A and B are shown apart, each in its own frame.
Chain A
Amino acid sequence: MAAAETAQSWHEIVLNTLKRNDIRLVPYVPDRVLTPLIKNLHADSFFNVFPTAREEEAVGIVSGAWMGGMRGAMLMQTSGFATLANVLASLVVPSQIPLIMFVSERGTLGEFNLGQSLVCRTMRPVLDSLAMEHHTCTRLDEFEFVTDRSIKQAITTQAPVALILSPLLTGGKAFDK
């Protein structure tokens, strides 16, 4: 079927949806699963995309840019999210900043590292404790809808959102040999 043949991959959907919503600034701390997305963002001059030393730093940069009138989103993996409770609770949520986060989900559905699987369990309780919007994205056919609507809702309601990219969507990271 032609439609299926031309279907976008998950990372093409992220890139195109960011662009459609005029989100230009994309700081990240890398993850293996995010590699094709990061590569394609770097290759597209629409985006200002760069690595930061810590995820917290990326939150600060996106928050400052938002206040200065430029939209941003950040990319990280689960263990990176686990470093963010303080900045979410003391800057993003109380200041009503529409921080858009893409979190590549490690620690589930075939995790091989016990540390990763434990840190993964802290993510949703932190999001829930701050009443932050979050969605676990598992299906390619829903992904553009979820991403586009979530970005628009974050901006119009001035509230952060976390889009958790499940291995069911991305394929995840394969077991180490």
Chain B
Amino acid sequence: MSAPMNTSPDRNTKVMNRFDLTSRLVTRLKNEEAVVGGIGNTNFDLWAAGHRPQNFYMLGSMGLAFPIALGVALAQPTRRVIALEGDGSLLMQLGCLSTIATLAPKNLTMVVMDNGIYQITGSQPTPAAATADLVAIAIASGLSNSSWAADEEDFERLIEQSLLTDGPTLIGVRIDDKPGTGTTRRDPVQIRERFMHGLGVRQPL
């Protein structure tokens, strides 16, 4: 269908694919970085990219991928933490951008997957689709190190750069209207427990 994706003329960013970008991201992780996947397609594609013990998959609580990742980043300042969030989800919790800017964790990378639609509920446009620029909102919230990725290579470069930067980074990517590739196993206790093992907080029984 012709989903109303972000097409404002001031953007020269390529429309990419969530699963492809998530796979590119996961491939680059060599230091047991924590990854928090937001509700729905964002964590489905994280799951599909290959489960890692350091992955946390959100099953509800829409909009909390960045706050959860912030909590992990504060608890483990020497570990890099990456959060993947959808545009509709971020719209639910824009205030968290200011909180993160104020606390300025050195080890947090945020990725916004922006297709301008609620794909999973029937591809309805978000209220921001035709008007708002989420990266501009992030910058205005105090996250000065925020930018759109122009294409896949630029995304990889921005990720690489963020892993070496002493401060929070936000990367916006325009994505297509494809659904998630896999389906996360919806077992919240096991997801939480395995994540804690992956972060070295607990040992398995």
Q: How far is the CB of B178 from chain A (nearest CB, A)?
A: 25
The reply to whether A87 and B74 contact each other, CB–CB distance below 8 Å, is no
A52–B192 Cα distance when bound, in Å, is 24
* B192 near A69: Cβ-Cβ < 8 Å: no
State the CA gap A91–B62 with chains docked (Å): 10
Question: Looking at the complex, which of B40-48, B113-121, B127-135, B195-203 is the stretch in contact with chain A?
Answer: B195-203
A144 at the interface (CB under 8 A from B): no
* A160 in the interface (beta carbon within 8 A): no
For the complex, is A125 an interface residue (Cβ under 8 Å from B)? no
Name the interface residues of A16-71: CB closer than 8 Å to any CB of B: 25, 48, 50-54, 56-70
- Number of chain B residues whose Cβ lies closer than 8 Å to a Cβ of chain A: 39
With both chains docked as a complex, state the minimum distance between the C-beta of B203 and any C-beta of chain A, in angstroms.
Answer: 12
Binds B, one of A4-12, A93-101, A105-113, A146-154: A93-101
How long is the Cα–Cα vector from A114 to B192 in the complex, in angstroms?
40
Considering only CB atoms, which chain B residue lies closest to A87 in the complex?
B61
A72 within 8 Å of B by Cβ? yes
Whether A90 sits at the interface, judged by CB under 8 Å, is yes
Cα A177 to Cα B190 in complex, Å, equals 53
In the complex, are the beta carbons of B74 and A61 less than 8 A apart? yes
Q: Considering the chains assembled together, what is the distance between the CA atoms of A16 and B69 in angstroms?
A: 28
Kindly state whether residue B183 has any CB partner on chain A within 8 Å.
no
* Nearest A residue to B97, CB-CB: A53
The answer to whether B195 and A67 have CB atoms under 8 Å apart is: yes
Chain B residues in 8 Å Cβ range of A53: 93-96, 98-99
CB of B71 within 8 A of CB of A68, answer yes
Query: Which of A48, A53, A62, A68 has the largest number of chain B CB atoms within 10 A?
Result: A68
User: Bound complex: CA of A82 vs CA of B169, how far in Å?
Assistant: 32
A97 and B13 alpha carbons, distance in the complex (Å): 40
| Most A-side CB within 10 Å, residue of B64, B66, B76 | B64
Given the contacts A68-B72, A90-B59, A94-B189, A61 and B102 also touching, CB distance less than 8 Å: no
Say yes or no: B192 contacts A67, CB within 8 Å. yes
Q: Which residues of B contact A95 (CB under 8 A)?
A: 188-189, 191-192
Is B88 an interface residue when CB atoms closer than 8 A count as contact? Answer: no
Note all chain B residues with C-beta closer than 8 A to A59.
61, 64, 67
Contacts of A68 in B (CB 8 A): 34, 71-76, 79, 199, 201
Residues of B close to A25: CB separation below 8 A: 71, 74-75
Among residues 73 to 89 in chain A, which have CB atoms less than 8 Å away from a CB atom of chain B? 86-87, 89
Contact A94/B74 with A61-B67, A86-B60 known, Cβ cut-off 8 Å: no
Q: In the bound complex, how far is the Cα of B96 from the Cα of A54, in angstroms?
A: 8
Taking the complex as formed, is B68 at the interface, i.e. its CB lies under 8 A from any CB of chain A?
yes
List 17 A-B residue pairs with CB atoms under 8 Å apart, sorted by A's residue number.
A53-B96, A56-B64, A56-B93, A60-B67, A61-B70, A64-B67, A64-B69, A65-B74, A66-B75, A67-B56, A68-B34, A70-B71, A87-B61, A89-B60, A90-B59, A96-B189, A96-B192
Other A-B contacts than A57-B96, A69-B200, A72-B71, 11 sampled, CB-CB below 8 A, are A56-B67, A57-B67, A59-B64, A61-B74, A63-B68, A65-B74, A67-B56, A68-B72, A69-B199, A70-B71, A70-B75
